[in-house]
Structure 1
Amino acid sequence: MAAGTGPDTPRRLLIGVCGSGNVLAVPQYLMALRTGLGPGVEIRMIMTRSAAAIIPPSTMRLLCRTVYCDGEDELTTGHVAPAVWAERFVVLPATANMLGQAANGLASGLLSSALLAHERPVVFFPSMNSLMWERPAVRRNVDRLRADGHAVIDPVPAPAWQIAAGEVRKNLGLPPSSTVATVIGEFLAMPVDPLGG
């Protein structure tokens, strides 16, 4: 039996997708999840405006039938319906901006509003430049999310990339798709109480 697919396992997974450069790899991660989690798990997605600007929602709909988008679905779907539907919620990739919004209870768009309305812990997979990841404000936000009962999976080093003035900095990205599928499978299998429960 695939990880996270026992008879009592939650089967409704909502994935939030932010506009990090790693958003281009999300289709690969979706395929790994479909393989690793098995056919019993229904996946829906919320894309931020910046994510949808990088990779079209129509592309995501090839792998995930239900895709909600910032600026399009707030009035027709609302933020509460996806949050209540989801038995588990994952943000992949999570930008520094989304970590800050979630940590501080801000709701400026469909994804951040759904995170605020979701009553269970969320797993965040951050992706950002190492300069941002190491900033005290980001570290405080990560600590706050963890203290509130959420899981924040540390990003992994990606190949160096070139920035202004020829300086090379390390980009931090998502773990391999097989690792992410395993983490999410374990998350699905865990008994989880509501936040603050």
Structure 2
Amino acid sequence: MVKHMEIILGVTGSIAAYKAVYLARELVRQGANVHVVMTKNATEFVTPLTFQTVTGNPVTTQMFELFSGSEIGHIALADRAHITVVAPATANILGKVANGLADDFLSTMVMATKVPVLFAPAMNTVMWSSPAVQHNVTKLRESGYHFMEPESGELACGVVGQGKMAEPSHIIEKIKIVLSQKDLIGEEVLVTAGPTLEMIDPVRYVSNHSSGKMGYALARAAIRRGAKVTLVTGPTLLDFPVGAKVIKIKSAHEMHEAVLRKSKTASVVIKAAAV
């Protein structure tokens, strides 16, 4: 899905910048050509050399850089991309773009691009939930920008809450969602996946070896194509599909009840679970 894609990865000044290295490496592994743009503050956390080594491409850090002789840097880079991903995205970059400010290479390039832009925010919980940041996020969404919501957990500051940059695998899945053709918009897809467990007593149960991989893959495919997906899943070791409404069940009876309840509004039902 990202093979042969030209992807711009914008990295801003957050401790989560180290995770952007893993994101860049995985994108390259999947066949993408990644061009990294770093803000001045980002270079305080990770060196440009690290990203250049991982991607095989020069890293842009200066506002006034030329590409291919006379090409203007931010225009040339914006023109060659299929998508721009800003990860981590600080409150600062969100505020700049939301209010039309362009005072460094990254913010200027975002203003100059016509391709989709995906932000993966990373910041303190209180900062993320502040009215100013949420106002900017709402404004950017309404302007057509895409977001990979920050995840919850323990942050670098020691606080537990929402604000962690999403895992690289989740961001890549979101990239695939953004870039996919949307021919299932308006459809509500219900997918069952995984095994069920039938208790014999408080210790023992009867189950099967279903991994859930088929159902999860079908759910991801439907989400990429624009459908609203509900996934009813038994216990698995898989990450939940990005963008799916997940209903976790254990027994066949619980799955039966969930499917009957959700199938009333579903336009497509795919039963991939092993019951």
Letter matched to residue 105 of structure 2: L
The answer for unaligned runs of 5 or more in structure 2 is 68-72, 183-275
Q: In structure 1, how many angstroms separate the alpha carbons of the residues matched to 2:155 and 2:87? A: 21
From 84, 90, 111, give the equivalent of 1:89: 84
Match of 1:131 in 2: 126
Give 1 or 2: higher helix fraction: 1
Q: TM-score of the superposition, structure 2-length normalised?
A: 0.59
Match of 1:24 in 2: 18
Match of 2:177 in 1: 186
Moved more, 23-32 or 181-190: 181-190
User: Cα RMSD (Å) of the superposition?
Assistant: 2.0
From 108, 113, 136, give the equivalent of 1:113: 108
Letter matched to residue 185 of structure 1: K
Partner SS for 2:163: strand
The reply to whether residue 74 of structure 1 matches residue 103 of structure 2 is no
Q: In structure 1, how many angstroms separate the alpha carbons of the residues matched to 2:65 and 2:20? A: 26
Task: Tell whether the 8 Å contact from 2:82 to 2:116 is kept in structure 1 after alignment.
Answer: no
With over 3 angstroms needed to count, the CA separation of the structure-2 counterparts of 1:170 and 1:67, relative to structure 1, is farther
Match of 1:195 in 2: none
Q: In the TM superposition, what whole-angstrom CA distance separates every residue of 1:70-111 from its partner, at most 9, and x where no partner exists? A: 33x523342111111112111011000000111111101000
Q: In the TM superposition, what whole-angstrom CA distance separates every residue of 1:124-172 from its partner, at most 9, and x where no partner exists? A: 0000001111111101110011000111221001315556xxxx45461
Q: In structure 1, how many angstroms separate the alpha carbons of the residues matched to 2:17 and 2:34? A: 17
Give the paired residue count. Answer: 177
Q: In structure 2, how many angstroms separate the alpha carbons of the residues matched to 1:83 and 1:11? A: 13
With over 3 angstroms needed to count, the CA separation of the structure-2 counterparts of 1:149 and 1:162, relative to structure 1, is closer
Task: Tell whether the 8 Å contact from 1:155 to 1:175 is kept in structure 2 after alignment.
Answer: yes
The answer for unaligned runs of 5 or more in structure 1 is 192-197
Q: In structure 2, how many angstroms separate the alpha carbons of the residues matched to 1:171 and 1:33? A: 25
Letter matched to residue 64 of structure 1: T
With over 3 angstroms needed to count, the CA separation of the structure-2 counterparts of 1:148 and 1:56, relative to structure 1, is same
Match of 2:54 in 1: 63
Q: In structure 1, how many angstroms separate the alpha carbons of the residues matched to 2:144 and 2:9? A: 18
Letter matched to residue 86 of structure 2: V
Partner SS for 1:137: helix
Match of 2:166 in 1: 175
Q: In structure 2, how many angstroms separate the alpha carbons of the residues matched to 1:14 and 1:161? A: 26
Partner SS for 2:136: helix
Q: Matched residues, percent identical? A: 30
Bigger RCO (CA 8 Å, 6+ sep): 1
Partner SS for 1:66: coil
Moved more, 25-34 or 142-151: 25-34
How many Å apart are 1:33 and its aligned residue?
2.1
